[in-house]
Chain A
Amino acid sequence: NAGVTQTPKFRILKIGQSMTLQCTQDMNHNYMYWYRQDPGMGLKLIYYSVGAGITDKGEVPNGYNVSRSTTEDFPLRLELAAPSQTSVYFCASSLTAYNEQFFGPGTRLTVL
């Protein structure tokens, strides 16, 4: 099992550009999450999904979009990148809401 994989590992964007952060899990987990981690802060939930076709906003959804067309994949789309979106992004998955989350390795994004 690869677990949770994320691509890319690093990316530099210019202000106004768009990109998609990819996340895939091979554990057949129903729940998937996107978090951002800003320096000196904990993890803030951007979006989450409780199953294919179902997504909902977290604490900090503005400037992002998600989709969940399959159980395995949960891409995060940044439209019109802004410097405030400079952060480390983590994708995670869990079997149910009770179960622990498994995290991907993270994507470090810089917007200049």
Chain B
Amino acid sequence: ILNVEQSPQSLHVQEGDSTNFTCSFPSSNFYALHWYRWETAKSPEALFVMTLNGDEKKKGRISATLNTKEGYSYLYIKGSQPEDSATYLCAFRSNTNAGKSTFGDGTTLTVKP
């Protein structure tokens, strides 16, 4: 079983704060790392697909970086808004079995107005 860990488990910030959280994964046999956003009572939706060491992706106020050599990815949210409140999941795929996707338990972000 692959170990994919996300920290912190939950985060409470004020509107306008910037925040970041971490996804840690095995540093060997990397294939791909995906970030998803999961709002309450909805289904997860993809944010980023990251495949190369040093990848940096950005979508509006949200960005992500990838370090495959040390086995971590950061998700950053600049100027958090209440609508950013959601659980953010990362999913790791190993090149020993790329069809199998292992999710972390997520970081739940609450942004207070």
Interface residues of A (CB under 8 A from B): 31, 33, 35, 41-45, 48, 50, 56, 58-59, 90, 97-106
Secondary structure type dominating chain B contacts: strand
How many contacts A-B (CB < 8 Å)? 57
A16 CA / B30 CA spacing, docked (Å)? 41
Q: What are the residues of chain B within 8 A of A103 when measuring CB–CB?
A: 43-45
B51 at the interface (CB under 8 A from A): yes
Instruction: Look across to chain A and name the residue whose beta carbon is closest to the beta carbon of B9.
Output: A40
Determine if A45 and B104 form an interchain contact, defined as CB atoms under 8 angstroms apart: no
Determine if A97 and B31 form an interchain contact, defined as CB atoms under 8 angstroms apart: yes
Cβ contacts A to B, 6 pairs, < 8 Å:
A42-B105, A43-B103, A45-B100, A97-B93, A98-B31, A103-B44
A99 CA / B89 CA spacing, docked (Å)? 15
Size category of the B interface is: 20 to 34
Q: What are the residues of chain A within 8 A of B89 when measuring CB–CB?
A: 42-43
Instruction: Look across to chain A and name the residue whose beta carbon is closest to the beta carbon of B1.
Output: A59
B91 at the interface (CB under 8 A from A): yes
Instruction: Look across to chain A and name the residue whose beta carbon is closest to the beta carbon of B43.
Output: A103
| B40-61 with Cβ < 8 A to chain A | 43-46, 49, 51
Decide: A101 near B101, CB < 8 A? Known: A43-B44, A43-B89: yes
Q: What is the distance, in angstroms, from A109's C-beta to the closest C-beta of chain B? A: 16
A31 CA / B99 CA spacing, docked (Å)? 8
A35 CA / B105 CA spacing, docked (Å)? 13
Determine if B51 and A98 form an interchain contact, defined as CB atoms under 8 angstroms apart: yes
Q: What are the residues of chain B within 8 A of A102 when measuring CB–CB?
A: 46
Instruction: Look across to chain B and name the residue whose beta carbon is closest to the beta carbon of A49.
Output: B99
Q: What are the residues of chain A within 8 A of B103 when measuring CB–CB?
A: 35, 42-45
Decide: A104 near B99, CB < 8 A? Known: A42-B106, A97-B31, A98-B51: no
Q: Knowing that A50-B99, A97-B101, A101-B36 are A-B contacts, what are 15 other residue pairs whose CB atoms are under 8 Å apart, sorted by A's residue number?
A: A31-B99, A35-B103, A56-B99, A56-B100, A90-B44, A97-B93, A97-B99, A98-B31, A98-B32, A98-B51, A99-B49, A100-B49, A101-B34, A101-B44, A103-B45
